């Protein structure tokens, strides 16, 4: 269904260009060449920047948390949203930048980043990306991966007695929309 959109747009742009450059186009071959050029340009652009509906689907995992786990989670941090990141993961860097934009716009305030790294490495990454979100470091891999899971970025939202979790490619536009809904201000 989405494949016809760039094609239709390219035809509209081609028609507008034909009207705009009407004096300069002398033959039908020029008209055909301009139309085909715009169609090819728009289709090429579409395939490099395709629209994927799953980027907007909310594919979260909800875990019912028992009382002991809930108390342990609450004792770790006061943040409602915890994002576990690897410093070597490019998707984690993108997620941290998006979360930072939400944090700076005050749409999400109760958030904390947790890095698996040495202190100096995380500090330099946070400084280089102008991250303003509070963060902490876990250098022990078994503790980090037990809390975060094995797919990154890993974002966890604690809501009442539930732990809502997004990881990997489930961290998409819908995830960030959901985080804005549940944030306590």
- Please write the tens of the pLDDT for every residue from 89-111: 999 999 999 999 999 988 888 89
H-type alpha helices, 105-172 = 119-128, 141-148
Residue 155 has pLDDT above 60, yes or no: yes
Which residue has better confidence, 8 or 75?
A: 8
- Give pTM, 2 decimals: 0.64
Rounded to whole angstroms, how far apart are CA atoms 84 and 157? 11
Residue 11 has pLDDT above 80, yes or no: no
DSSP character string of 125-182: HHHHTT--S-EEE---HHHHHHHH-SSSSEEEEEETTEEEEEEGGG-SHHHHHHHHHH
Rounded to whole angstroms, how far apart are CA atoms 90 and 72? 30
pLDDT at 1: 41
pLDDT at 53: 64
Closest alpha carbon to 160 in 76, 75, 66, 77: 66
Rounded to whole angstroms, how far apart are CA atoms 171 and 55? 8
pLDDT at 127: 93
pLDDT at 84: 94
Highest mean pLDDT among 38-47, 50-59, 116-125: 116-125
- The three-state secondary structure class of 137 is strand
pLDDT at 136: 92
Banded pLDDT at 137 (limits 50, 70, 90):
very high
Rounded to whole angstroms, how far apart are CA atoms 105 and 120? 27
Q: What is the mean pLDDT of residues 37-44?
A: 71
Q: Across the strands, what pairs with 112?
A: 82
Closest alpha carbon to 60 in 157, 150, 136: 157
Banded pLDDT at 10 (limits 50, 70, 90):
low
For the chain, what is the mean pLDDT?
78
């Amino acid at each position: 269904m989405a494949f016809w959109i760039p094609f239709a747009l390219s035809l509209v742009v081609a028609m507008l260009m034909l009207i705009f450059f009407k004096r300069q186009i002398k033959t039908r071959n020029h008209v055909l060449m301009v139309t085909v050029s715009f169609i090819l340009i728009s289709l090429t652009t579409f395939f490099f920047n395709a629209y994927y509906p799953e980027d907007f689907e909310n594919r979260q995992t909800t875990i019912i948390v028992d009382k002991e786990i809930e108390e342990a989670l609450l004792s770790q941090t006061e943040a409602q949203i915890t994002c576990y990141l690897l410093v070597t993961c490019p998707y984690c860097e993108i997620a941290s930048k998006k979360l930072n934009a939400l944090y700076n716009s005050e749409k999400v305030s109760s958030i904390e980043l947790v890095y698996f790294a040495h202190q100096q490495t995380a500090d330099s990454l946070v400084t280089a990306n102008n991250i303003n979100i509070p963060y902490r470091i876990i250098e022990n891999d078994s503790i980090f991966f037990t809390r975060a899971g094995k797919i990154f970025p890993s974002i966890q939202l604690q809501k009442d007695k539930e732990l809502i979790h997004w990881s990997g490619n489930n961290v998409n536009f819908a995830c960030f929309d959901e985080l804005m809904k549940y944030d306590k201000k």
